[in-house]
């Protein structure tokens, strides 16, 4: 592999963000999921939960356990998870295929309740989350990060999102965790300049922004 700034050129001659390395599962995640807009509530709730579970761990660890997490948390349907009780907590703590951290497990259940409340107030979790998309998003090519140092651990927007979620009862949603979530669900496009999927993600982001703006107008009609 050849490192060019923050890119990796792999055997297929495609330039990718350096962080995915050559792990097949990580490369697939980079190519097909990361920074591609998510506007589905269950998928957004899943991302918030998994980013919380990642705290202190690598994302690759979570990625490798993702299908097990989905089965354990009933595919992250907040209506179902909100009904979990102590028996479910005990079941999850014994599940060796996920991260067995009581605080994070209980936070995921708590966050399901908080998600339902946001849906009542704003119409959808997506409407709420996408309102925190940076106005100067890295969607345009000339604002693509070029170096690792160009990407920060948190931003003003992730701090605002973190604060808003915590005010509504969410847990394990610190500013750094929320910026990672914003990157992964497409609120920002932090694929480095020259990454072969960057422009495609940018175009998908524009479509998602228009869709969310239309939904927001509908919710206020």
The CA distance from 130 to 126, in Å, is 6
CA–CA dist 161, 220 (Å, integer): 21
What span, in angstroms and rounded, lies between the C-alpha atoms of 50 and 93? Answer: 16
Task: Specify the residue for token string 């700034």.
Answer: 5
Q: Where are the beta strands (DSSP E) in the chain?
A: 2-4, 7-9, 15-17
- The answer to whether 98 and 67 are in contact (CB under 8 A) is no
182 phi and psi, to 5 degrees? Answer: -60, -40
Report, as residue numbers or ranges, the catalytic residues. 29, 51, 59
- DSSP secondary structure string for all residues of 151-163: S-S--HHHHHHHH
End-to-end Cα distance, the chain = 53
Number of other CB atoms surrounding residue 134 within 10 Å = 14
């Amino acid at each position: 592999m050849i490192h060019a700034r923050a890119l990796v050129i792999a055997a297929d001659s495609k330039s990718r963000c350096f962080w995915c390395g050559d792990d097949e599962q990580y490369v697939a995640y980079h190519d097909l999921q990361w920074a591609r807009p998510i506007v589905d509530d269950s998928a957004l709730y899943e991302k918030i939960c998994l980013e919380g579970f990642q705290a202190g761990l690598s994302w690759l660890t979570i990625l490798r356990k993702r299908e097990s997490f989905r089965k354990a948390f009933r595919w992250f349907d907040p209506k179902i998870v909100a009904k979990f009780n102590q028996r479910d907590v005990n079941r999850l703590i014994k599940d060796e295929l996920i991260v067995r951290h009581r605080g994070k497990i209980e936070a995921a259940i708590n966050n399901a309740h908080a998600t339902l409340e946001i849906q009542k107030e704003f119409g959808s979790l997506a409407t709420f989350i996408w309102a925190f998309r940076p106005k100067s998003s890295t969607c345009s090519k000339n604002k693509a990060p070029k170096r690792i140092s160009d990407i920060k651990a948190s931003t003003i927007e992730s701090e605002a999102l973190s604060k808003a979620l915590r005010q509504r009862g969410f847990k394990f949603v610190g500013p750094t965790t929320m910026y990672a979530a914003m990157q992964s669900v497409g609120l920002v496009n932090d694929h480095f300049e020259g990454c072969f999927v960057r422009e495609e993600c940018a175009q998908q982001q524009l479509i998602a922004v228009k869709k969310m703006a239309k939904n927001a107008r509908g919710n206020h009609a």
